[in-house]
Amino acid sequence: MSSRETILASIRSHLAASPPDDQPECGSLFTVTEKVPLVDLFKQSLEAVDGHCVVVQNEQQIVEQIARILGDRPRRIAISDAPALKRLVDGEVAPNAHDIFAFDVGISTAQAAIAETGTLVLDSARERHRFVSLVPPVHIAIVDAQSIFQTLGEALAFIHQNNDISPAVTFITGPSRTADIELTLAIGVHGPQELYVIINEGPPLAR
């Protein structure tokens, strides 16, 4: 008998041996969420977890904000394969797993966001941003205002649509952190040390 069969048989026989349990009825979890301005809520939530957030009205302002964030120092920039970024930013497109370590800044878009937690939703099937959003110490992400959901539940439904889900979806809430040493917060561990989110209230970025 294979291990699979052994385990399944063990589960079945132990369940069969079990006396019945009185299980209380569990009601619905429906809650009414008060609608709030999502851009403001997102900014507030992200800043509470040490992320940075600016709001822009057009592509020109996106470029300006990126320049402001980068500052004067020359930085090696890696960008995702989002067409808008290829147009707006001068950077290496989606470096591979080996080369990505040479870059200081990674820039990507996000497919969606969650306002109540300040979270970015990155769907790897729609954009090659898995490495640029993870390895370089600085991550800049652009998200369209209209892609911001209020709640976690909505974002989960978004990534699991039509009974399908991408091979790798990532939720990002702020820069990386740890409290493993004396429970003291340290920002910037293995993931990016700085996270900047640019919310685009102008026409959605051409994909």
Partner 1 sequence: MNHLSSETFDENAKAALADVQLRGALRNATLLFGKRRLEAARSLSNWEDLRTHARAIKDEVLLHLDRYLETFVANAEKRGTVVHWATDAAEANAIISKLTRDRGARTIVKSKSMTTEETHLNTALEAAGMQVVETDLGEYIIQLAHETPSHIIAPAIHKTKGQIAELFTSTLGMPPTDDIAKLTSTARATLRDRFAAADVGISGVNFGIAETGTIVIVENEGNIRLTTSLPRIHIAVMGIEKIIPRFADLDVFLKLLPRSGTGQSLTTYQSFITGTKRNADDEGPGELHIVIMDNGRSRMLAHPVTRQSLACIRCGACLNACPVYQQVGGHAYGSVYPGPIGAVITPQLLGLEKTAQLPYASSLCGACREVCPVKIDIPRLLLHLRGEIIAHKKNGSAAERLAFKMWARVMMSPALYNMGSMAGRLIQKVMPLSKAWTSGRDLRPIEQQSFRELWKTKLSHE
Binding residues (CB under 8 A) for partner 1: these are: 2-4, 6-8, 10-12, 14-15, 17-21, 23-24, 26-27, 29, 31, 49, 94, 97-98, 101, 116-117, 119, 124-125, 128, 130-131, 134-135, 152-153, 156-157, 159-160, 165-184, 186, 188-192
Q: Which is nearer to partner 1, 20 or 74 (CB)?
A: 20
Q: Are 80 and 128 in contact (CB under 8 A)?
A: yes
Cα separation, 29 vs 36, in Å, equals: 21
Q: Which is nearer to partner 1, 17 or 72 (CB)?
A: 17
Q: Strand 138-144's sheet: what is its strand order?
A: 52-56, 194-200, 138-144, 105-109, 77-79, 92-93
| Least separation in angstroms between CB 58 and partner 1 | 30
Q: Which is nearer to partner 1, 101 or 204 (CB)?
A: 101
| Least separation in angstroms between CB 29 and partner 1 | 5
| Least separation in angstroms between CB 98 and partner 1 | 7
| Least separation in angstroms between CB 173 and partner 1 | 5
**Burial per residue of 7-30, b for 16 or more beta-carbon CB atoms within 10 angstroms, e otherwise:** eeeeeeeeeeeeeeeeeeeeeeee
Q: Which is nearer to partner 1, 97 or 206 (CB)?
A: 97
| Least separation in angstroms between CB 36 and partner 1 | 15
Q: Which is nearer to partner 1, 56 or 123 (CB)?
A: 123
Stretch (H or E) spanning 84? helix 83-88
Which is it for strands 112-114 and 177-178: parallel, antiparallel or unpaired? unpaired
Q: Are 162 and 156 in contact (CB under 8 A)?
A: no
Give the number of other CB atoms < 10 A from CB of residue 94: 20
